[in-house]
Structure 1
Amino acid sequence: MAGASALLLAATGGAAYAQVTGSSVTQAQLASQTRTATPIKHVVVIFDENISFDHYFGTYPHATNENGTPFRAKWDTPRVNGLSSSLLNHNPNLYNPKRLSPSQAMTCDQNHNYKNEQQAYNGGKADQFVQHTETDKCTGQPILFGEPGLVMDYYDGNTVTGLWNYAQNYAMSDNSFNSVYGPSSPGAVNLISGQTHGIYAVDSVTGAKVSDAYTVQSPDANGVGTMTNDPDPAFDNCSDSNHTSKNALGVMTGPNVGDLLNKKKVSWGWFQGGFRPTGTANGYSVCGATHTNVGGNSVVDYSAHHEPFQYYQSTSNPQHLPPSSVAAIGSTDQANHQYDLSDFDQAVASRHLPAVSFLKAGEYQDGHAGYSDPLDEQAFVVREINQLQKSPDWKSTAVVVAYDDSDGWYDHVTPPLVNGSKDPNLDQAACQGKPVGNDQQDRCGYGPRTPLLVISPYSRTNAVDHRLTDQTSILKFVEDNWNVGRVGGGSYDAKATSLAANWGGMFNFYQWPNTRPLILDPKTGAVVRH
């Protein structure tokens, strides 16, 4: 009966608000005492860049093993909706998909604009990728690989070995989509608010409101419209070359999940590579840290438009101030929940892990083609998960690996239409089947299919979730787990399927938690210890 009682306690989220006192109390201990709807007390979202599902998992679980790290799947691995023999050999696009080897990890960046991605799917035929999203020639990096048909190509478990090993031992989805079409910033904003409508533009130097078609699509009479591009955020000193150019910056209105968590006093943080300033210029912080990717190319770590909380004044840290102490990480202080990645490492080591953490790699490790690659991305993902699995907090942690957009890479599954738009300049006919809520244009979704994995002691094992989810399914899980309410105002969180749904989903909260670590080699992705 003792074991059954413990399992029941875990399934109901544990004891309610146990009294904790004393100066030695850590964020992790406080988080563990907060009532949650599930046994998960810590969510860590690793939000990587620009990968379609077929680009990484199209042939899962079958790898050729002709080069790279060997991979052999478990005999009972479930099938995914991937690249069939017909799609591999008789694809309706101009080229058939081809396997990219580990030596071709550095590739050209594809076209992933809001309109172009819609055109690639061609009303459900998914046969216009070469014409609308392919970039097969690129310059600026000495070893970038490109050739005609590149947009169709994919990696297998000999290159993205770490992710395939996580899928083998935890849970993945083959039916998860971007909330809308388009590039990085809309994807990041959807992750934290589910709402790309509500942006206006300001002058990068004066801060005055301006009219800017790149920043704001379909503006209303007040100049507030929808984000479909990648403007830098207004509340960030490192934006737009430290506010020195004439590009407009974006201001998002309305609440985000950080605001909801703050109201409930739930600890949280966004941690990004290169966030810590390297100096100042003209009164602005400078984010000049660089690293070298596997191709030997130096890349600036910090990208302002990858930091969604900096678009919202309420959750911004314009000067990139550090936390007042390690113990303060996750709480509201001068850092205002926005941190450097090194602060996350300190939080894990000192048991000050916030309840909700979002991790964004420095650009060389974020997976974005053109300046990053699957091998550098793997090194980042594996390092972070390894340290979490070695932590005492692992027993109540869930890591979600997700992506901001597809980069325009081929994926054969046409996204389902859950929200329409009728912008004659951007939206294709396939987007006009349903009216947009509250007359908010340019939010056509769902967008392209992307990978989604959940790595946790409570993950289903070697499981594939076929339920329809999107980026805001992550948001909804956080909202429901800590009972913070919904964003509202047309947010996609209202219609999303939560990651927490049992019976065929990605979690099993009725199983005895599997806390045994799966330690991988960050360089190869191979299993080191299990």
Structure 2
Amino acid sequence: MPHTTRHFNRKQAVGVVGTATLATSLVAAALLCLGVAPGSAGEGHHDTATPIKHVVVIFQENVSFDHYFATYPQAANTPGEIQQGSGMAAPSFTAAKNTPKGINTLVNAGLLAPKNPNSIQPARLSPRQAVTCDQDHGYTSEQKAYDAGAMDKFVQFTSRDSCGANQYGRPGLTMDYYDGNTVTGIWNYAQNYAMSDNHFSTTLGPSTPGALNLVSGQTHGATEYTSAGVPVATPAAGSYTVRQPDANGVGTVINDPDPVHDDCSNSSHATSNNLAGMNGKNIGDLLNARNVSWGWFQGGFTPTTPAAAGNPASCLSSHTNVAGATVTDYSPHHEPFQYYASTANPHHLPPATQAEIGHNGQANHQYDLTSFNQVVNTDNMPAVSFLKAGMYQDGHAAYSDPLDEQNFITATVNKIQKSKNWKDTAVVVAYDDSDGWYDHVAAAVKNSSSTADDAAWCQNAAASGVPMAGGYTDRCGPGPRQPLLVISPYAKKNFVDHTESDQTSILRFIEDNWHTGQIGDASADAAAGSLNAMFNFHHGRKDTLILNERTGTIASRVHSRQ
């Protein structure tokens, strides 16, 4: 089938996105808990529950908490180490004396070598080993690695030990971790702002479920399409995309299909994947209903070949990572709003004017990262911004790495801190999945499932009576533990939050702050743990922390009157 016909079929087959019930009855109570009086509904985006007027979510790829924080705040500081790619001397790291004790790290749990129950012991990765093999992070594989809660089968079920040129591998690679000599910027943000040691993916599995949970708390409601855009009424056993479909072909996403409402699906990689489209609502729909400005900004979103004369756009811009590999910037399955007809920008059209950024228009709130850079220091910076790095900087093992990622995060946060909007902004750094990297903590299952895709971890929970929200299968979670940081004038300094949270806690913070109501339809946002303990909403800090964008070390501290 010609590519042009495929695109036509995508648009015609999905139709109108269904509605979802908005739950708003608890908003007033939530505001009182924050110590902030609720405003009137008519005040739009100015009516926020907290002093935060701008939320920026930097949503990165494929990191478990132990992979980045196993020995925090102690780094090896090994003499003579250099960074991969640049050949620069690796930075040293010395923790502040008042760094909190009792952080749930691998070292504090007593699970470094030789005491780890897995068949191969954890080992430190040096700054010269930044680019590594990608691990197995499938929905079922991660459950098997949990071994019914013993957390001792990661080597057997998620470790991938050998891979391409200039990518480090070893037997049992999944067990390995970085420290503050490599992830220096992340550790410095943790030292100066707030982090969590009890934050999890909402469900088990890879990138697309994580992205969908961030914006809707819902991986059910998916329709599968062939790579040519034809609906698949009954996905086959082992389907790449949608599992357990009902009589209407609607099921749950557990893998990484490309979005059906995206010209660039299947054009940015060698394989031709099945596609998926989502029904229901997402946070973009809720923000639109409240007239709150927002946008998703992703590296490589600007097409290299625009759509024209019935031919779809293609998105093939690229950059080189620290290992010298050329990496395509745009990944369609990392862009959750493209799965929904209501919030998609299928042809990757740019905003007609700068004033359109964050508002309704031909781009439909979906933009290239360059659009965020245009408005970050203006009155037109959206109230809610989701930022996705180009693939070489998104932190995903194999094609990205912590050094390229550090460059993106520090450059972005520096830009925000130097802007006029910093005074009322909260930057949230979060991840879409764990990549299968080992982490020693498993949260108790709160949403069960018991299908052929589920192993003992989730099946046991279902058998013991843990409910299955909405009756929707294959949404077992929480999944693996991941890093979470809040960088803001209202973030507590050098603070570690132990409150259990998940990806939908970010969604819930946005919902509550702008009084949007909730997604409904058994979305995980309804039960999400709060991020509020990471903030002090009664006192805005007067300092900024500018980091070196190559090394992650502290470049300057600025104290100002606000």
TM-score (norm 2): 0.86
Amino acid at match of 1:99: R
Aligned-residue offset at 1:280: 4.4
Whole-angstrom distance in 1 between the partners of 2:491 and 2:328: 35
**Match of residue 474 from structure 2:** 442
Aligned-residue offset at 1:415: 2.4
**Match of residue 88 from structure 1:** 112
Does the C-alpha gap of structure 1 residues 18 and 424 become closer, same or farther in structure 2, counting only changes over 3 Å?
closer
Amino acid at match of 2:392: Y
Identity %: 57
1:495 corresponds, among 527, 530, 545, to 527
The 5-angstrom pairing of residues 342-381 of structure 1 reads 342-381=370-409
**Match of residue 47 from structure 1:** 59
Q: Report if aligned partners of 1:258, 1:268 keep a CA contact under 8 Å in 2.
A: yes
Aligned-residue offset at 1:290: 0.2
Does the C-alpha gap of structure 1 residues 342 and 97 become closer, same or farther in structure 2, counting only changes over 3 Å?
same
**Match of residue 130 from structure 1:** 155
**Match of residue 514 from structure 1:** 541
- Name whichever of 380-389 and 61-70 sits farther off: 61-70
- Name whichever of 389-398 and 81-90 sits farther off: 81-90
Whole-angstrom distance in 1 between the partners of 2:270 and 2:396: 26
**Match of residue 399 from structure 1:** 427
**Match of residue 99 from structure 2:** 77
Question: Is structure 2 residue 275 aligned with structure 1 residue 249?
Answer: yes
Amino acid at match of 2:299: G
Amino acid at match of 1:496: A
Question: Is structure 2 residue 552 aligned with structure 1 residue 525?
Answer: yes
Amino acid at match of 1:172: M
**Match of residue 271 from structure 1:** 297
1:36 corresponds, among 48, 66, 72, to 48
The 5-angstrom pairing of residues 232-311 of structure 1 reads 232-241=258-267, 247-280=273-306, 283-311=311-339
Q: Report if aligned partners of 1:49, 1:405 keep a CA contact under 8 Å in 2.
A: yes
Aligned-residue offset at 1:484: 0.2
SS at match of 1:131: helix
Aligned-residue offset at 1:499: 1.4
Q: Report if aligned partners of 1:63, 1:157 keep a CA contact under 8 Å in 2.
A: yes
Question: Is structure 2 residue 189 aligned with structure 1 residue 162?
Answer: no
Does the C-alpha gap of structure 1 residues 171 and 371 become closer, same or farther in structure 2, counting only changes over 3 Å?
same
Amino acid at match of 1:516: D
Q: Report if aligned partners of 2:377, 2:421 keep a CA contact under 8 Å in 1.
A: no
Aligned-residue offset at 1:202: 1.8
Whole-angstrom distance in 2 between the partners of 1:55 and 1:189: 23
1:44-95 per-position Cα deviation (integer Å, ceiling 9, x unaligned):
0000000000000111000111132111000010131001363102100011
2:341 corresponds, among 313, 337, 344, to 313
Aligned-residue offset at 1:242: 7.4
Q: Report if aligned partners of 1:204, 1:244 keep a CA contact under 8 Å in 2.
A: no
Question: Is structure 2 residue 59 aligned with structure 1 residue 62?
Answer: no
Q: Report if aligned partners of 1:277, 1:288 keep a CA contact under 8 Å in 2.
A: yes
SS at match of 1:332: coil
**Match of residue 205 from structure 1:** 228
Q: Report if aligned partners of 1:331, 1:337 keep a CA contact under 8 Å in 2.
A: yes
Aligned-residue offset at 1:144: 0.2
1:347-372 per-position Cα deviation (integer Å, ceiling 9, x unaligned):
11333210000000000000000100
SS at match of 1:478: helix
Whole-angstrom distance in 2 between the partners of 1:425 and 1:57: 30
Whole-angstrom distance in 2 between the partners of 1:14 and 1:198: 33
Amino acid at match of 2:347: Q
**Match of residue 178 from structure 1:** 201
**Match of residue 8 from structure 2:** none
Does the C-alpha gap of structure 1 residues 273 and 327 become closer, same or farther in structure 2, counting only changes over 3 Å?
same
SS at match of 2:276: strand
Whole-angstrom distance in 2 between the partners of 1:247 and 1:291: 23
SS at match of 1:94: coil
Aligned-residue offset at 1:497: 1.4
Amino acid at match of 1:214: Y
1:461 corresponds, among 493, 500, 509, to 493
Amino acid at match of 2:98: D
List alignment gaps of at least 5 residues for structure 2.
1-31, 82-89, 558-562
Question: Is structure 2 residue 350 aligned with structure 1 residue 325?
Answer: no
Q: Report if aligned partners of 2:298, 2:330 keep a CA contact under 8 Å in 1.
A: yes
Does the C-alpha gap of structure 1 residues 170 and 244 become closer, same or farther in structure 2, counting only changes over 3 Å?
closer
1:477 corresponds, among 509, 522, 536, to 509
Aligned-residue offset at 1:327: 1.2
Does the C-alpha gap of structure 1 residues 149 and 266 become closer, same or farther in structure 2, counting only changes over 3 Å?
same
Amino acid at match of 1:451: P
Whole-angstrom distance in 2 between the partners of 1:427 and 1:444: 10
Q: How many residues align?
A: 503
Whole-angstrom distance in 2 between the partners of 1:275 and 1:412: 36
Aligned-residue offset at 1:246: 5.7
SS at match of 1:84: coil
List alignment gaps of at least 5 residues for structure 1.
1-7, 20-29
Does the C-alpha gap of structure 1 residues 16 and 523 become closer, same or farther in structure 2, counting only changes over 3 Å?
farther
Whole-angstrom distance in 1 between the partners of 2:438 and 2:316: 34
**Match of residue 26 from structure 1:** none
TM-score (norm 1): 0.92
Whole-angstrom distance in 1 between the partners of 2:405 and 2:505: 23
Whole-angstrom distance in 2 between the partners of 1:481 and 1:349: 22
Aligned-residue offset at 1:243: 11
**Match of residue 24 from structure 2:** none
Q: Report if aligned partners of 1:179, 1:445 keep a CA contact under 8 Å in 2.
A: yes
Q: Report if aligned partners of 1:194, 1:491 keep a CA contact under 8 Å in 2.
A: yes
Whole-angstrom distance in 1 between the partners of 2:392 and 2:349: 23
Aligned-residue offset at 1:206: 4.4
Question: What do you get for the CA RMSD once the two structures are aligned?
Answer: 2.0
1:223 corresponds, among 249, 252, 266, to 249
Whole-angstrom distance in 1 between the partners of 2:121 and 2:74: 18
Aligned-residue offset at 1:241: 2.0
